[in-house]
Chain A
């Protein structure tokens, strides 16, 4: 154990190293570590925010889907109603058309009947005339008896 100038050398070296550490190492590292701490804290906060936003978005999505389903069912109901209406209308139209056709047919038949009646009347008159001719065995003077004949045919 002998003391000598080594002590001074060591002291100077020590002071130099402490000075170096104080000047070039400590502030840099401390600042960096603080910045990193802040960055990590910020990152965590951002992650939390993101999670919350995701939750919100999921909720929004669910709402949207729900709304869409509701709208779709509404539209389907409306469409069904409209379809029923169309069918009813068609039925009504068909019914009136049928009635109209029936009416026309009925009119035609009536007309036909009238014509046939007229024909029959004429023919009956002629037959009656022929019968009378036969009975009288002579020619009836058509011109002389036209008035009588017309009267008979009108009565028939």
Chain B
């Protein structure tokens, strides 16, 4: 499902809802995936709300069960950040917590039976063929939004800790090194090529890993849903697997974010 400010579906610029993926695609760049945005924002608000509530009433007295659980998550993230990221920053830790919880919640939507929410959307909208995506992380827009934001932070921290010269030097003077100045100049291009690829591979691999895992998982859920009665045990088995996958992917995304940022702040 998508909505559009201007596009080819209609001649005039106005807001409208696309009814299929093809129509949404035809809307061009200014199309908005209302389903992806809607679910991810709702889940993000759930994350903020849950944590804000326990943070607001935080006391040093004995915590409740729910508070205890969230504090456990908090401490897990805190420990990961403290172990991997040694520079001083008050952005990285909250960033890691947000990434972990948000990605986990978005992945968690995958465990809702694949046709419930699209059917409900179809019923509400009255359009039986409406295209409705429930898992935001199966939309590359969502995963790339995360990874590009992290990429911007990587560059920001690199420049902050090494200066612009240091950052450029890191891109151009490694991994092939030379003692004299002519050799250095000659090696700039191959170095830039290698380091540039390494740098750009970070956000792309980050986004595509999450997207690929979740998209494939969702696809298998859809395939299983077509099996008839055999889908019930098969669904159960795949869902159990998937519980692992969604936590693991959220954790990997968080961990790599921390590691990339710590690499960006460390001097070689």
> Could you tell me if B30 and A4 are in contact, using CB atoms closer than 8 angstroms?
yes
Grouping DSSP codes into helix (H, G, I), strand (E, B) and loop, the B interface class, with mixed when no group exceeds half, is helix
The answer to whether B32 touches A32 (Cβ under 8 A) is: no
Chain B contacts of A7 at CB under 8 A? 141, 144-145, 148
State which of B30, B37, B58, B60 has its C-beta within 8 Å of the C-beta of A13. Answer: B37
Q: CB < 8 Å: which of B33, B59, B97, B148 contacts A4? A: B33
Whether the pair A29, B146 counts as a contact (CB closer than 8 A) is no
From known contacts A7-B144, A25-B48, A26-B97, infer whether A32 and B55 are also in contact, taking CB-CB under 8 Å: yes
B58 x A17 contact (CB < 8 A):
no
Mark out the residues of chain A between 1 and 49 whose CB falls within 8 Å of any chain B CB in the assembled complex: 1-11, 13-18, 20-22, 24-33, 35-36, 39
Q: Which one, B88-96, B107-115, B156-164, is touching chain A?
A: B88-96
Please report the C-alpha to C-alpha distance between residue A28 and residue B58 in the assembled complex, in whole angstroms. Answer: 7
The answer on a CB contact under 8 Å between A6 and B98 is: no
Q: Which residues of A contact B144 (CB under 8 A)?
A: 3, 7, 10
When distances are taken between beta carbons in the complex, the residues of chain A under 8 Å from B44 are 13-14, 16-17
Known: A4-B2, A6-B31. A22 touches B91 (CB 8 A): yes
Beta-carbon nearest neighbor of A16 in chain B? B44
Shortest CB–CB separation between residue B62 and chain A, in angstroms?
A: 9
Complex alpha-carbon distance, A21 and B37, angstroms: 19
Query: How many angstroms between the C-alpha atoms of A77 and B139 in the bound complex?
Result: 100
Taken together as a complex, chains A and B put the C-alpha atoms of A16 and B27 apart, in Å, by: 27
